[in-house]
Amino acid sequence: MQLTGPEIMRRMNAENPDIIIRPFDERCLGSNSYDLHLGDTLKVYKHTIPWGMKPALEYKGAPEKHSMKDWFEYPVRFEVYKLNPDEYDIRNPRYLIDPTNPAHHETIDIKIPDTGLILSPDIGYLGTTVEYTETRNLFPYMDGKSSIGRNFILNHHTAGRGDDGFCGQWTLEIRVLYPTVVYPYMRIGQIYYEEFIGERKPYDKNKASHYNGQMGATAAAPVAVDWFLRDAVQKMK
C-alpha cells in the first residue's frame, strides 16, 4: 500500500521516523510522493568517451549557438571525425563496458553550471539526487516526473527501486533521446513509499550491500558472475 503525501510527512515527524529526507521542503511534497532534485555533478565512464570528444557541453542559451563541432576538443578532431566517423560511433566495440571489470567503471566528473549543461544521446551519465534519504520499515522507490519523461529524459534504467534500510543519496542512470539541457536543482524524479509484509532484512545491515551510505553519483560495483549456479543447472538437466 502506497503512502500519501500527508502520511509521508507524519512518518517524518514521528519520534522515531521511518523516513528522513534532507533537505526537505514541503513545497516539493506531492499527493503521494516527494520530488527529488538533480545534484550539480555528473559522472561518466572514462572508457566510453571517444578520444578528443567532450562528454557534455555548457549551454550557451540558444540551440543556434551550437554545432557538431562543439562536441570536439580541437577542430582537427572534428575533421578526423568527418573522415572516419566509425572511430567515434558509440556502437564501436572498443567502447564496450565489461560489467565485471572495475577498470571500465573509472569515471570523470562533470560540473553542471547554473546556465545548464547539454547532454549527448550517445553517452550514459551517472547523476545524484540533492536529497539524502533514509528509509526504514518501508519500501522506497524512485521514478521520473511526467514532465521529465515528456522531455525524453530517462533518470533510471532498472535501479529505481530502493530497499528497506537504505541510507544515502540516490544515484541516477541518465540517458536522453536528443541533445538535452539539464540544470542543477531541477526536479528530476519522485520518491514513493510502500508498506511491505514479512520480516525485515534491512539494507544497511546486509554485508552484501554495495551502495549503502553513498554520497554523490556512485559508479557500479563489479557485477558478480555466480559460476556456482553452473553445477545446479547441470543437475537440473
Task: Give per-residue pLDDT as tens, 56-86.
Answer: 999 999 999 999 999 999 989 999 899 999 8
pLDDT at residue 127, rounded to an integer? 95
pLDDT at residue 177, rounded to an integer? 96
pLDDT in tens, 123-148: 999 999 999 999 999 999 999 888 99
Q: Which residues are catalytic?
A: 173
Say if residues 70 and 221 touch (Cβ distance below 8 Å): no
What is the domain partition of the chain in residue ranges? Answer: 37-236
DSSP code, position 31: S
The Cα–Cα gap between 126 and 155 comes to 9
Select 37-236's CATH number: 2.70.40.10, 3.90.650.10, 3.50.40.10, 3.40.50.300. 2.70.40.10
pLDDT at residue 223, rounded to an integer? 76
The reply to whether the predicted model has a pTM over 0.95 is no
The Cα–Cα gap between 180 and 119 comes to 5
C-alpha cell at 113: 553550471
Say if residues 36 and 129 touch (Cβ distance below 8 Å): yes
Say if residues 189 and 155 touch (Cβ distance below 8 Å): yes
Say if residues 123 and 152 touch (Cβ distance below 8 Å): no
Contacts of 158 (CB under 8 A, 6+ apart): none
pLDDT at residue 6, rounded to an integer? 95
pLDDT at residue 204, rounded to an integer? 61
pLDDT at residue 201, rounded to an integer? 65
pLDDT at residue 210, rounded to an integer? 60
What parts of the chain have a pLDDT lower than 70? 159, 200-214
pLDDT at residue 157, rounded to an integer? 80
